[in-house]
Amino acid sequence: MAKPKFTITAETKNQKAVIRIDGYISEWSNHAQGFKMKLDQIIADGIVDAEIYINSGGGSCFEANEIANEIGRFTGSITARLGALCASAATYIASKCDKVVSAKNTSYMIHKPSAWFDGNSDEIEAKLKLLKNLNKEYLSAYTTKTALSDKEITAMWKTDYWMDSEEAKEKGFIDEIEGETDITEDDVNAIARYKGAPKIAASVRPTDTNQKIEIEMKEKLLLVLGSVLAADASDAQIIAAVEAMKQKAAKFESAEEARIKAEKDLNDLKEKALKDAAEAFVQSCVDKKKILASQKDFFVKAYISDAEGTKKTLEDMPAASQLSKETTSGGNAGASAEDRSKWTYADYQDKAPTALAELAESDPDKYESLFKAHYNK
């Protein structure tokens, strides 16, 4: 059977480089120049993240290594998305990505790098050293990606070692399977808030029902979900309960956000209504010549702080016409000769209301100080 033709492409979508690798990885000299030029342009445009789609049974180790080198030029997040097949040299490319996401039906296979040698004994020994170097490089890539030991990888790859997506994830070759639901720390803490429980500072990703949830996290989950789960609940039951509670928690948080917004809107309306009332009342006092227009802002603020007190003060103030009569009739006669340095706001109101109005205009700071002292503000 002919091996699938190798193709590799690169383009930019949604501020991300999208690279596609299909077929048997062979010498890509026909594609290399164009591919590298495309990557040069994408990187020059400021794109730092990349997504690599891989559907390949492998092929040339050297070509796979160089593709990984090219992809490694991206300085942001590099995600590999696996199609139906990721095997042999293609797994090296995947292992060099920050995150590997597979389809549910992905088949994943590793084995030792291999090569056909010919030549004399010296030539074969030289090429054998090259092959051992490749073995060392691929072993390092796999152990770094999976955290499996050299011994574990060596035991696996003596022959073709095939894995389905679940096993590849369990062993660490892939990080996520499309369509699976993970339980994250944020999920658990959202449930904790909904149930009124304390925040849980830990993380858990029990997506495989055959994989045991760590004991400490299981105890914490049961603490939060104690009303709906028995103490001997299985991992599958816990995961199902968490999923159900996540939906309730999401509704609770949406309702809480709506309540907070409604409360804020109501407060804003109350503040606006109070300010409008203050503006209207103080303006009426200006119109009646009880206060000067320059005093309006001060009394508006005073009204908002103490509506009743400020309202009474302004209502008790005589109008400007009355002040004129007082001055003309001698109501304030001789008042200017008095020492007013120790006068209070009440003294001004009783003895010289005209002077009080003048003080608000000539020395607003002193006026404000007397006003606040009089009303204990």
Cβ count within 10 A of residue 284 = 11
Helices (H), 147-207: 150-156, 165-171, 185-195
Whether residue 332 sits in one domain with residue 254: no
DSSP assignment letter at 354: H
- Check if the beta carbon of residue 93 is closer than 8 Å to that of residue 21: yes
pLDDT in tens, 66-108: 999 999 999 999 999 999 999 999 999 999 999 999 999 999 9
Segment holding 371, helix H or strand E: helix 364-374
The answer for residues whose C-beta is within 8 angstroms of residue 192's C-beta and 6 or more apart is 198, 199, 200, 224
Asked if pLDDT for residue 334 goes beyond 70, the answer is no
In this predicted model, which residue has the larger pLDDT, 239 or 50? 50
Cβ count within 10 A of residue 347 = 16
2 inside domain: no
171 inside domain: yes
pLDDT in tens, 22-43: 988 887 765 667 788 889 999 9
The answer for residues whose C-beta is within 8 angstroms of residue 347's C-beta and 6 or more apart is 340
189 inside domain: yes
Q: What integer is the mean pLDDT of 172-178?
A: 90
Whether residue 164 sits in one domain with residue 204: no
Asked if pLDDT for residue 109 goes beyond 90, the answer is yes
In this predicted model, which residue has the larger pLDDT, 105 or 325? 105
- Check if the beta carbon of residue 228 is closer than 8 Å to that of residue 246: no
The bridge status of strand 176-177 relative to strand 50-56 is: unpaired
Q: What integer is the mean pLDDT of 220-241?
A: 65
Whether residue 106 sits in one domain with residue 13: yes
pLDDT in tens, 280-296: 998 988 888 888 887 88
**Cα–Cα distance between 282 and 34 in angstroms, integer?**
76
Report pLDDT for 198.
42
Range(s) of the domain holding residue 67: 7-177
278 inside domain: no
DSSP assignment letter at 342: T
pLDDT in tens, 197-219: 444 433 344 444 334 445 555 55
* Closest CA relative to residue 21, chosen from 76, 111, 75, 92: 92
325 inside domain: yes
Whether residue 192 sits in one domain with residue 172: no
Structure tokens belonging to residue 95: 């292992």
Report pLDDT for 288.
84
In this predicted model, which residue has the larger pLDDT, 326 or 252? 252
Whether residue 116 sits in one domain with residue 196: no
Angle at 50 between CA 47 and CA 66, to 5 degrees: 105
